[in-house]
Amino acid sequence: MSGRNVFYAQSGGVTSVINASAWGLIQGCRARPDTFGKVYAGREGILGALDENLIDTSLFSDDTLEGLVWTPGGAFGSCRYKLKGLEQNRTEYERLIEVFDAHEIGYFFYNGGNDSMDTAHKVSLLASELGYPLTCIGIPKTIDNDLAATDNCPGFGSVAKYIATSTAEAGFDIASMCGSSTKVFVMEVMGRHAGWIAAAAGLASEQASQPPHIILFPELTFDADDFLNEVDRCVDEYGYCVVVASEGIAYEDGSFVAETGTKDAFGHAQLGGVAPALAHMVGERTGHKYHYAIADYLQRSARHISAKTDLDQAIAVGEAAAHYAAQGMQAVMPAIIRGEGDTYTWTIEPADLADVANHEKFMPRDFITENGYGITDAARDYLAPLIEGECFPPFKRGMPEYLRLDLSRCIEKKLAPRGQ
C-alpha cells in the first residue's frame, strides 16, 4: 500500500548542493513506501505547483538521480517568487491546496531560505484552517548562511571553500608580481546583509601578512577614508593588498556602495559592482595599479570545489525531512546542531518553522576583529570545519560530468490554468 504523494520545490538562489538535498529527500521517501507515494518536483519551484507543472521523479532511476549529488544549480528549476501574506493573497495559497488536492499530495517539502520557511509555515497554517491534511516541512538552503535555529546552512560551506580557495590562489598571483604590477586586488562576494561569505575568505590566511588583508562586512558601516588608509598601510607593509568585499556594504547613511537603483522580485535592492567602485576609489586616491574580480554565480555553482561537510549535511537535511514527515511532525525544518568539544561534530534536530521564518542571522561582532577588517579566532573556529573535506564530481574528458534531467514531460494537468 502506498502513501499520499509528495510535492518538493526548490526556492530562490540555487547552490552547488541543493540537488543533494533533493537526492536525500527522494531517497528518504523511496525508503518509506508505506508513508509516501510519488515524489513530484515543482518545475521552477513553487511556480510548478501554482501552474500545475509537476515532474514525476519516479520516472528516474536511483542510478540517474544519484547525479543530483554532484550537480550544481536546481535540477528541477527554482524561482524567485514570494507568496504574499495570507491576508493579501489568500487565492494563491488556496490554489496551492487545490493543486495538492488534485494530485493527492499530502506532503509539502520546501527547500529554501528565510522567505521559503515563512511560506512553508503559512501554507501549513492555511491547510490546517481549511482542514486539508498536509504535512509541511522546510529544508534549509542558502549560501548566505543567515538562517536562524541552525548552526549553519547547506550551500554555505561550499561557497566558503570556493571563496577561501580563490582568495588564497589570487593572493599567490598578486604577491608574485606586486613589485612591478598590480598592488591592490578587490574581490566582490555575495552577501547582501550578512558577511558570512566574506568572512570565509579569512580562512585563506594564517597570519596578518597573508591575503586577504582587508575584509569588508555588511554588518559594519563602510568608511571610505579609513578603508583607503588601511589599503595604504597594507601596501606599505606587505607590498600589496587583497580586499574581499561583501556586495552589501553600505555607507553610514544606509546607501549601498554599489547600489544600481533596481529591485528584485522580493523587493530587495539589486546590487552589483562593489568591486569596481572600491577599485576605482583606490586607484584615484592612491594611484596603485588595481584589478578586481566578481565571482557572481561562479561562487554558488562551483560544485567542483564543494566541501564534503557541506555535501553530507545537504543530503542529511533532505533525508531528515522525509524522516520528520514520516514521524508526523508538522511545520519543522531539520536544523544542523554543532556538538560540544574541540573536534567538530554535528547532528540534525527539528526546529519550528515559526522560529526560523524571516529571521536573519548576522555575523556576531566578536567574529570580526576590532578594526573591522578581519576575522577573529572565534570566527575561524566556527568557519573552518564547514569547508572541510573534498568531494570532487566525476570527470569525463576533462569536464565534470553533471546530470541534465529531461524535464520536458510534466504529468498531466487536472485543473484549469490558474486565474481562470
Residue 239: CA count within 13 A, CB half-sphere: 13
Please list every residue from 54 through 93 that binds a copy of itself, using CB under 8 A.
Answer: 71-75, 77-81
**Is residue 398 part of the contact set for a copy of itself (CB under 8 A)?**
yes
Residue 113 as a binder of a copy of itself (CB under 8 A): the answer is: no
Pairing of strands 332-338, 214-216: unpaired
From residue 208, how far is each of 140, 146, 213, 234, 365 by CA, in Å?
A: 35, 27, 7, 10, 19
Nearer to a copy of itself, 1 or 399 (CB): 399
* Nearest distance in Å: CB 42, a copy of itself: 11
Q: Is the CB of 397 or the CB of 409 nearer to a copy of itself?
A: 397
258, 197 Cβ separation under 8 angstroms: no
The residue among 94 and 388 lying less far from a copy of itself, judged by its C-beta, is 388
Among 36, 93, 227, 402, binds a copy of itself (CB under 8 A): 402
Stretch that binds a copy of itself, among 124-132, 146-154, 302-310, 365-373 (CB under 8 A): 302-310
Q: Does 166 bind a copy of itself (CB under 8 A)?
A: yes
- CB of 37 closer than 8 Å to CB of 3: yes
Contact between 257 and a copy of itself by CB under 8 A: the answer reads no
One of 6, 9, 14, 22 touching a copy of itself (CB under 8 A): 14
Our CB check for a copy of itself shows the closer of 32 and 289 to be 289
Q: DSSP assignment of 301-362, as one string?
A: H-GGG-BHHHHHHHHHHHHHHHHHHHTT--SEEEEEEEPSSSS--EEEEEEEHHHHTT---P
Q: Which of residues 173, 349, 352, 355 is near a copy of itself by CB under 8 A?
A: 173
* Cβ atoms of residues 150 and 336 within 8 Å: yes
21 binds a copy of itself (CB under 8 A): no
CA dihedral (337, 339, 344, 346) positive or negative: negative
Which grid coordinates belong to 96? 496551492
Select from 3, 13, 138, 191 the one that contacts a copy of itself (CB under 8 A). Answer: 13
| Chain residues 262-291 in contact with a copy of itself, contact rule CB under 8 A | 264-265, 272-273, 275-276, 291
175 binds a copy of itself (CB under 8 A): yes
Residue 376 beta carbon to a copy of itself: minimum distance, rounded to whole angstroms = 18
Among the candidate windows 27-35, 86-94, 120-128, 387-395, which touches a copy of itself by CB under 8 A? 387-395
Q: Does 31 bind a copy of itself (CB under 8 A)?
A: no
> What cell numbers appear for 377 in the block?
579566532
Strands (E), 118-183: 135-140
Give the closest residue to 139 by CA, choosing from 9, 270, 296. Answer: 9
Q: Is the peptide bond before 212 cis (omega within 30 degrees of 0)?
A: yes
Residue 210 CB, nearest approach to a copy of itself (Å)? 8
Which cell numbers in the block locate residue 38?
510519488
- The correct pick among 86, 125, 126, 168 for binding a copy of itself (CB under 8 A) is 168
Residue 144 among the catalytic residues = yes
Binding piece for a copy of itself, criterion CB under 8 A, among 121-129, 334-342, 357-365, 389-397? 389-397
CA separation for the pair 303, 251 (Å, rounded): 34
Site for a copy of itself in 42-61 (CB under 8 A): 44, 47
Q: Kindly list the catalytic residues.
A: 144
